[in-house]
Chains A and B, each alone.
Chain A
């Protein structure tokens, strides 16, 4: 059955989300909302230094404090083995993960965990944390990525020798890895160009800045079984990492997914969870840990800052002949920046014969980066899209037409090697060009910028269960933490396949004991992959419903079809039977073989690549350098919008985050390597008064591998805004800026108005 060819009854509609009422009434339970009897509060002791050797840790005074029930240091944790694991975006080493959870011999950034304590109240826990005495030998530190690459830079890790180069280096280095992707002959490509533009760019690290702090409640009993409740993008990830770090069998750790108050990639790893389990194990009581906002900024996230060189050549008639990029990305304290995806996506929106991208993964004394929405892509595509825009401008070509002329199509070989299947890059450009927005005349000091973005999207492991209840209602179970309304999409897809009203289906994200392994909610994969599992599980349930109808009618199961929520005879030859509804079959399930259900456990393949094109209008105040975003339109190929409101929401939210990245957000360090702006007052995410309405256009080029044509949509929309804003500012000021954020002082420095 080809689902894509059918007219849909529920797919594409906008029902109220099943978890909605709980979320507008304050009933929804997030990470910090659980209280257990006898629960202790846990606090973390963090490094005040950017780089130091830990000489000793004395916990005796803390342990002697009345009300303190347990203290944990690295000495309590098993030694972790060195092995690569997938952690959200890139591979990271398990030993590094262990050290990031709690430092063993050295601290590599200000804010790194050194010890943790649990006590009967927050206040006592805080006093106890202050009583833990750590003696440090402070070491020279390095913050900036280019400084960290210098020969005389302080080396963070003696065991890191630059990978990806031959011969293997003899000296340890902060450059953990080199990647390279190349196609064709770039020298010949540049020789054929009439115009070549080369520019150097920088971007600053930015934080995912989910509003809900990391939070966990862990309860480990004397039988060695642990119950963990936490806010994460993957409770199976939490189980797997905690089991590995603490050397506990997975079956002994049950993780329940609290409602999650935003993640954006930042909750695809563990920080507090293993500590909470250890504190609970030692105290014999449940322990809650919640990060403060300051701790979130200093010790979790962010994504990489970067230094990049981009060179692109084109002919007079607007054909790009070659692209060359060098990307240096900060990994933070341990290897594993998103330099791989940054390099692969840099030129991916274009059909180019000659490309080379070289990337470096560089450690420095900052918190270890973690995934942030399309990790790496906003960074590299910002730089490329800024040069593409400048080329169009120099050649006197419309920026959308220039992109269309060079844009990827079905069959285009991307710079990272793979040939694209069905994609919607050209369609998003056409839709953007056709908007009213693109035609609105601009006033003085105003400018319009356009940019495109590409992201792979991924599949991965997901499971789903459909249980047909005795009254004909349906319980749907899966294990992908729902950040932005995915339970609504799961219910819609199940309703569409089963042919019953969406309100009859109750979707739940169940704990790690109740379903199979799920990869994290990340990579824009949930509606695609978990959705695919839901469709398969629904079909399995239908097969069972058909079998039951066949038994009731005493016919062969092949003689029964499923249509509009009813079992029907396939033809008059089968017999003259009244169709039986799902509820009618369910009501007598006990007589036909017992409860009816369908299950699917899959590793989804064939995620469809996503493309978006954004248009941004800005006005730049010539006196203050302040940039106001006047209008914004986000166009994206979404494959198929299951619940269009939440798809639009992804585009709008991604655009807002990208605008923040472009205009406001940055990590700022002092000379001692300490973060100076660890709070929302000084790290300014966009507020309501900073933004205009964000118009969306959903282009639907169905992904042929998904039953409903779904492509991931969550990550693409954060990619184009950086360059769209940058290009708009260039149009408004006549200056091509090459560093983010475009803060008022930076604008004034660039336009010369601040002199």
Chain B
């Protein structure tokens, strides 16, 4: 099981307000698929327009990174810059 933290905004849209959800996954790809299964639309939203931060490192294109129960995982908007 991995713990995934969501912003309160994302949570109110997809997870009935829960800002922390648990899914079974060994990498980000599985995690996103599991989130989509549990909360329809959330996985698509993550793939299209969000970043995943794992242990403090923000990943704009997460996919293959491994995750485990000790990982600190946050879903947040994509960041660009000027």
- A residues near B (Cβ < 8 Å) are 84, 86-91, 163-166, 178-182, 208, 263-266, 268, 340-341, 344, 356, 358, 371-375, 416-421, 455-460, 520, 522-525, 603, 605-607, 705, 712, 715
* The residue from B13, B53, B81 contacting A523, defined by CB atoms under 8 A apart: B81
Q: Chain B residues near A264: list those with CB within 8 A.
A: 82
Please, how many angstroms separate the alpha-carbon atoms of A522 and B80 in the complex? 7
Interchain CB contact under 8 A, A421 and B56 = yes
| CB<8 Å pairs between A and B, sample of 10 | A90-B80, A91-B48, A163-B13, A166-B12, A344-B79, A416-B76, A421-B56, A455-B81, A457-B81, A605-B57
- Residue of A88, A178, A179 near B81 (CB, 8 A) is A88
Contact present for B81 and A715 (CB under 8 Å) = yes
Contact of A373 among B12, B59, B82 (CB under 8 A): B82
A433 to B58, CA, bound (A): 31
Indicate if the CB atoms of A84 and B82 lie closer than 8 Å: no
Give the A-B contact count at a CB cut-off of 8 A.
119
Task: Say yes or no: is B37 at the interface (Cβ < 8 Å to chain A).
Answer: no
Tell me if B72 and A375 are in contact (CB < 8 A): no
Across the interface, name the chain A residue whose C-beta is closest to B47: A84
Tell me how many residues of B have a C-beta within 8 Å of chain A: 26
Asked if B82 and A715 sit within 8 Å, CB to CB, the answer is yes
Contact B8 A182, beta carbon cutoff 8 Å: yes
CA distance A524 to B79 in the complex (A): 12
Q: Which residues of B contact A (CB under 8 A)?
A: 5, 7-9, 12-13, 19, 48-49, 53, 55-61, 72, 74, 76-82
Cβ–Cβ < 8 Å partners of A375 in chain B: 80-82
Residue of A nearest to B65 (CB): A605
Instruction: Identify the closest chain A residue to B61 (Cβ).
Output: A603
A582 to chain B, nearest CB (A): 34
11 additional contacts (CB under 8 A) given A163-B13, A341-B80: A88-B80, A90-B78, A164-B9, A179-B9, A179-B77, A181-B7, A265-B82, A344-B76, A458-B58, A459-B60, A524-B81
A607 to B5, CA, bound (A): 21
Chain A facing B: main interface SS: loop
Hey, which chain A residues are within 8 Å of B60, CB to CB? 458-460
- How far does the alpha carbon of A356 sit from the alpha carbon of B49 in the complex, in Å? 22
Assess the A91–B82 pair: CB atoms within 8 A. no
User: Which B residues are in CB contact (< 8 Å) with A373?
Assistant: 81-82
- Are A417 and B61 touching (Cβ within 8 A)? no
Which chain A residue shows the least CB distance to B53? Answer: A418
Is the pair B13, A86 in contact by a Cβ cutoff of 8 Å?
no
Which A residue sits closest to B63, measured CB to CB?
A: A603
In the complex the two chains form, is B82's CB within 8 Å of A374's CB?
A: yes
Bound together, the chains give a CA A268 to CA B81 distance in angstroms of: 9
- Chain A nearest CB: distance from B23 CB in Å? 17
User: A152 to chain B: closest CB distance in Å?
Assistant: 26
Residues of B within 8 A of A374 (CB): 81-82
Q: Which of B5, B8, B77 is close to A344, meaning CB atoms less than 8 Å apart?
A: B77
Contacts of A340 in B (CB 8 A): 77-79
| A418/B56 contact (C-beta < 8 A), A164-B9, A180-B7, A603-B61 known | yes
CB <8 Å contact, A416 and B7: yes
Cα(A167)–Cα(B67), bound, Å: 32
Give the complex CA separation of A605 and B64 in angstroms.
13
**A residues within 8 A CB of B82?**
88-89, 208, 263-266, 268, 371-375, 522-523, 715
Cα-based distance from A181 to B8 in the complex (angstroms): 5
Q: Is the CB of B81 within 8 A of A371?
A: yes
Contact A418 B7 (CB under 8 A): no
The chain A residue sitting closest to B57, CB to CB, is A606
Task: Note all chain A residues with C-beta closer than 8 A to B5.
Answer: 417
Min distance, Cβ A367 to any Cβ of chain B, angstroms = 16
The interface residues of chain A lying within 8 Å CB-to-CB of B74 are 416-418
Q: Contacts of A605 on B, CB cut-off 8 Å?
A: 57, 59
C-alpha gap A603/B60 in the complex (Å): 9
Decide if A178 touches B79 in the complex (CB within 8 Å): no
Cβ of B82 to closest chain A Cβ, rounded Å? 2
Residues of A within 8 A of B49 (CB): 84, 91
